[in-house]
Amino acid sequence: MLLFVFGFIGLAWLVLSVYFLPTAPDDHVEAGAEEPVWDGNLREGNNPAPFWWFWLLLAAMVFSVVYLMLYPGFGSYAGAFKWSQGGQLRDHQQEFIAEFAAVRGELLAQSLPELAADPRAMDTAAGLFRENCAACHGARATGQANLFPNLRDGDWQWGGTPEQIEQTIRHGRTAMMPSWQAVLNDEGVRNVAGYVQTLATGAVENHPGQGQYMQLCVGCHGPTGDGNPLLGAPRLNDDIWLYGGSAAAVSQTLSQGRGGQMPAFGQRLDDLQIKLLVAWLARP
Ligand code: HEC
Ligand code: HEC
């Protein structure tokens, strides 16, 4: 603040001295001596600075004083308008909330099929998905890297009703597929993996892996591999694989187990955002 005051006074003095104090005689041109001229017409000269500069500088100085009277900047003085970034943000937010409260209420009252049929609501939902979910599930929700499930294939590990999808998004999911290496050993893993691969084509009777499957796996995946959405145990009798359907991938799933985690978004997204995402994902 002091720095500003001294700087300002110094500047004002400089400007005034340039324009209004009598110019000192040019010291390197001796009085009365010929002014040196180079190249025919190039002379040192000592013309006063153009006068419009003075008005420009004066205007800038007046502006800065007026500005500091109105807006914060001079020490802790808040300025006549009491403007602040925080205050401006608050005002904008209040306008925003007021403007959208009506729209929000309307959208919240709509049914999921109505939302799914509303292109603007679905654009918003797609945007929310891009921001929050695409990093894992891919920009088109078609899954990624044999780690993040495809959400567009109609095959729902945790259930595909709107309620189940909402539950998944709000509270997250933690899957627990145990590791079977210790129980099955290498040969057992190979056999059961082979059996799992045949489930999609209609189980082959008397497969060497069938006995152990019936013993160890039906509790979660069901006798015909239908899966169980309550446990997040995926359907095994289709050709959709989260972790891959090759012999190697299935064997790895069996021997090491899997523990996919879907993070909870109940704290990060509000009710309307979750509803829009559910409508976007559950639409046929
Ligand atoms: C305690 C319940 C439970 C038992 C018992 C169980 N699983 Fe699983 N299984 C799961 C869950 C949950 C998942 C999903 C894991 C994930 O999403 O990370 C899974 C995933 C799998 C997958 C991966 C499917 C895919 O789409 O990639 C295969 C294959 C599989 N299980 C086979 C078996 C076999 C074979 C057995 C018996 C040896 C078995 N499971 C026993 C719960 C179980
Ligand atoms: C950090 C990565 C990650 C992010 C971010 C993420 N997910 Fe997931 N999501 C997963 C994983 C991993 C699974 C599979 C969990 C399992 O193996 O059971 C999953 C599963 C799901 C499922 C269940 C699929 C089924 O077949 O039942 C839904 C629905 C889902 N996610 C929706 C979303 C939505 C909507 C968002 C954004 C709000 C989101 N996810 C953000 C990783 C993520």
Q: What is the pLDDT of residues 68-77, one digit of tens each?
A: 888 877 777 7
User: According to the model, what pLDDT value does residue 121 have?
Assistant: 86
> How many C-beta atoms lie closer than 10 Å to residue 68's C-beta?
17
Of 15-29, 130-144, 265-279, the one with minimum mean pLDDT is: 15-29
List of residues 6+ apart from 201 with CB closer than 8 A: none
CA proximity to 278, closest of 147, 133, 177: 133
Q: Whose CA is nearest to atom 11 of ligand 2?
A: 262
State the distance from the centre of ligand 2 to the C-alpha of 144, rounded, in angstroms: 11
Whole-number Å distance between alpha carbons of 242 and 148: 7
pLDDT category at 172 given cuts 50, 70, 90 is very high
Q: Going by CA atoms, what residue is nearest to atom 5 of ligand 2?
A: 133
Is the beta carbon of 156 within 6 A of some atom in ligand 1?
Answer: no
> Does 173 contact ligand 1 (Cβ within 6 A)?
no
How close is the Cα of 266 to the center of ligand 2, in Å? 13
201 burial type by CB count under 10 A (0-12 exposed, 13-18 middle, 19+ buried): exposed
Indicate if the pLDDT at residue 88 is higher than 60: yes
Identify which ligand lies nearest to the alpha carbon of 167: 2
Reported as a pLDDT band with limits 50, 70 and 90, residue 143 is confident
pLDDT tens-digit map of 1-13: 777 778 878 877 8
Contacts of 172 (CB under 8 A, 6+ apart): 261, 262, 263, 264, 265
User: Under 8 Å CB-to-CB from 238, ≥6 apart: which residues?
Assistant: 155, 200
Distance CA 214, CA 233 (A): 15
CA pair distance 234, 221, nearest whole angstrom: 7
Question: Atom 32 of ligand 2 has which residue's CA nearest to it?
Answer: 169
State whether the beta carbon of 199 lies less than 6 angstroms from ligand 1. Answer: no
Beta carbons of 233 and 221 less than 8 angstroms apart:
yes
Mean pLDDT estimate for the chain? 83
Any idea which ligand is nearest the CA of 210?
1
Residue with tokens 């109940």: 266
Report how far residue 28's alpha carbon sits from residue 197's, in angstroms, rounded to the nearest whole number.
100
Rounded CA gap, 125 and 280, in Å? Answer: 6
Q: Are 246 and 257 a contacting pair, CB within 8 Å?
A: no
Candidates 128, 137, 272: which one to mutate for ligand 2, based on the most atoms within 8 Å of Cβ? 137
Q: pLDDT tens across 16-61, in order? A: 787 777 665 555 555 556 667 778 778 776 676 777 888 888 888 8
